[in-house]
Amino acid sequence: MRYKKMLLCFSFSLFLLFSLLYAQSETGSSGKGGIFTTKLDNGLEVIVIENHTVPLVTISIAVKNGAYTEPPEYNGLSHLYEHMFFKGNKAIPNQEEYMERQRELGMVWNGGTSTEYVNYYFTLSKDSLKPGMIFMKDAIETPLFNQAELEKEREVVLGEYDRNEATPSFHLNQAIGKKLWYKYFSRKNVIGDREVIKTATREKMMTIQKRYYIPSNSALIVSGDIEHQQIFKLAKELFSSWEKGPDPFKEYPIPVHPPLNKSEAEIVNQPVKTVTLQIIWQGPSLSKDIKSTYAADVFSYILSQDNSSFQKNLVETGLALFCNLSYYTQEHTGPIQITAQTTPDKLLQLNKAIMQEVSKFDQNDYFSDDLLQYAKNKLAVDDIYTRETGSDFALNLGFWWCSAGIDYYLNYVDNLKKVTRADIKKYVDTYIKDKPSVTGVMLSSENQSKINLKPEDLL
């Protein structure tokens, strides 16, 4: 999975972009793209991205935490912890003072939680670099988890849950997810369990902190108008006292999701006019089959193009309003997903047509050499554009550091260029063609009755 943007391809502009991104590459503490790294004695990885375009700095912490670390009794608490990060700590003990300090520093701030990644960031003026670093240190190392604030924030997170629950697609995703990840659903369910969130305790927050919020499980990423040696010095000065802890993944290993034994189907009724069809497979894991993750990105991009057989046979024919294939890169089994939207009268015909396309995915003539090369080139350019903004670059890098490691990110384009037809065929044959899947359909109960749809009709 990569971010995709519409792009006007001016050759001179692209030349300048490539030049700016790769001119600073060195050996030693730097890698490609002017990214400099070091590691403190306590295990904290420090990553610096120099970008002198504007006098701003983004200070980010990425933590290997998220849904994948959550057994059922903790499901949703990585996200709640993210909210509690922005409350008081030992240096600034109450919420009012915390918010006032953010205003004084002129911060833009936020956080995010995913399956394998939690991040926090502040963007502020370069003149406030050291105060911003101190602010981050205090927030990451010494949260208080005040009981009154925890009770307030539980309601905020439950409000987010309510808003998600009010969205029809939430129910489809939950139903499919429970079948796809049938043994360890909590490890993929980022939004969490309502009752677990509602009854979350200060003790559970402290357990998460002690277990995962340790320097060897985190990366400090600083991007902007700074010098890397300056950041290395500041990081050592401020973060060296962050106490070490045992490797959480040795003490609490992540269970392996068992493969699907058979294909299943699920029908979800929601008050919608159109029909949404999803077909999902368990895909590759980074540590087990890294080559297939590159093939997956290239193949998904090929199928997204209007001139691909996939789009011509499914969308241009009028069977689908839209249809795409995607893969979400993960260390612990990434999902492969076809998503389409159609009308009730065309649903079964579309489902059949999609499976006919799937049966041809590994054929040599399913896509042209030109389309293969175009996909690789376009993904490479998209990768460059994700680095335009310092804050976006830092957050994107943090995501990849948590799941794949920095080398995966820095070598991504080089490895894309190596993808062959044989790699794509292996990916398709290993994970998609003739493999068990979960099919989900969302439509209104009235439309289900009209077409007399049953789960077995989708298999």
| Per-domain boundaries in the chain | 21-251, 264-458
**SS3 at position 381:** helix
Which amino acid is located at 397 in the chain? L
Reported confidence tier of residue 4, pLDDT bands at 50, 70, 90: very low
- Is residue 5 pLDDT above 70, yes or no? no
Reported confidence tier of residue 95, pLDDT bands at 50, 70, 90: confident
CA 98 to chain centre: 29
List pLDDT tens digits, range 165-200.
999 999 999 999 999 999 999 999 999 999 999 999
d(CA 38, CA 25): 15
Q: Which two tokens stand for residue 370?
A: 């030109």
User: Parallel, antiparallel, or unpaired for β 45-50 and 218-224?
Assistant: parallel
Nearest to 126 by CA among 247, 225, 3: 225
Half-sphere exposure of 373 (CA within 13 A, CB side): 3
**SS3 at position 407:** helix
pLDDT at 28: 39
Torsion from C-alpha of 273, 274, 279, 285, nearest 10 degrees: -80
Would you list the DSSP string of 255-271?
PPPPPPSS-EEEEEE-S
For domain 21-251, give its CATH number from 3.40.50.300, 3.40.50.150, 3.30.1360.120, 3.30.830.10: 3.30.830.10
Residues 6+ apart with CB under 8 A from 428: 299, 361, 362
pLDDT at 32: 60
d(CA 113, CA 395): 12
The reply to whether domains 21-251 and 264-458 share a CATH topology is yes
List pLDDT tens digits, range 262-276.
999 999 999 999 999
- Is residue 249 pLDDT above 90, yes or no? yes
Which amino acid is located at 317 in the chain? T
How would CATH label the architecture of 264-458? 2-Layer Sandwich (3.30)
pLDDT at 387: 78
